[in-house]
Amino acid sequence: MLEVKGLTKRFGANVAVDAVSLSVDRPCMIGVIGRSGAGKSTLLRMMNRLTEASGGEILFDGRDVLSLTGREKRGWQSDCAMIFQQFNLVPRMDVVSNVLHGTLGRRSTLATMFSLYPEEDIHTAIDILDRLGIAQHAAKRAEALSGGQQQRVAIARALMQDPKVILADEPIASLDPMNAQTVMEALRRIHDEDGRMVIANLHTLDTARRYCDRILGMRDGRIVFDGTPEQLTTGVARDIYGAGTDFSEAATSTEIRDTAPVAAVERRLAKVTV
């Protein structure tokens, strides 16, 4: 289904992604972990063609992703929706309009400029918001919502594209633990119920273990671990992060506890993780 071969990205002399190869034969939920600068974002951005690769190949259902141009490239970007840490919503625009922006790729510029959305699309947008538990906020401005709610709007916008793959680049890095859980549960449900592939860059080990079927560990642009949550032992994690014996998983925990110190842990976490 997805085949990545020797995928490489160089920024000048810096090799951000170094000959990554990867094979996914059925839709699953994949977490990518690794310390800051390991190449996780660049890997996802190349898959979506937001960043051009320096070399290698990406095949999806036989489609040679890196050679697509024009309409075909836009078609791929629609099949492979991206979600970002900072949500990338239009803050002053209402929630439904933000979600309808997900149809941009298949609409004329003029129709979009005047917000001329087919009634059917509006119903679909509201159904998706309902599914994500935020339909009651449909008429509010995006900026009036909490971070977790805004991320769910971003997921709804992605779902409007009816994508085969959802690429989530640090989707919960800006969220408190409760909102982080809601967003991860939404992504998992989208995978379970719709059979869409989800690939998420995650900063925290326990999140990757809890929600993903498969975990990739990146270090210095390479995949140094590819296995199940059970195989991701503390020792393996220490290698991925290039950490010493003082490596503490607790420092990467997003466990929800109703005690105040958790907030402090979360703040440390935002910086990352080992």
Ligand X SMILES: Nc1ncnc2c1ncn2[C@@H]1O[C@H](COP(=O)(O)OP(=O)(O)OP(=O)(O)O)[C@@H](O)[C@H]1O
Residues that bind ligand X (CB under 6 A): 11, 14, 16, 34, 36-42
Q: What are phi and psi of 72, to 5 degrees?
A: -65, -35
All residues at 6 or more sequence positions from 132 whose CB lies less than 8 Å from its CB, including other chains: 152, 155, 156, 186
Q: Please, which residue, 128 or 202, has the CB nearer to ligand X?
A: 202
247 in Cβ contact with 238 (< 8 Å): yes
218 in Cβ contact with 40 (< 8 Å): yes
Cα 256 to the chain's mean position, in Å?
A: 21
Q: Please, which residue, 204 or 253, has the CB nearer to ligand X?
A: 204
Q: Please, which residue, 38 or 153, has the CB nearer to ligand X?
A: 38
Q: How far is the CB of 265 from ligand X (least distance, A)?
A: 18
Q: How far is the CB of 67 from ligand X (least distance, A)?
A: 22
Q: How far is the CB of 226 from ligand X (least distance, A)?
A: 16
Residue 94 tokens read as 């209402």
Q: How far is the CB of 126 from ligand X (least distance, A)?
A: 33
CA distance 80 to 89: 18
Q: Please, which residue, 21 or 112, has the CB nearer to ligand X?
A: 21
Instruction: Give the sign of the dihedral formed by CA 125, CA 131, CA 134, CA 136.
Output: positive
Q: Please, which residue, 38 or 125, has the CB nearer to ligand X?
A: 38
Q: How far is the CB of 51 from ligand X (least distance, A)?
A: 7
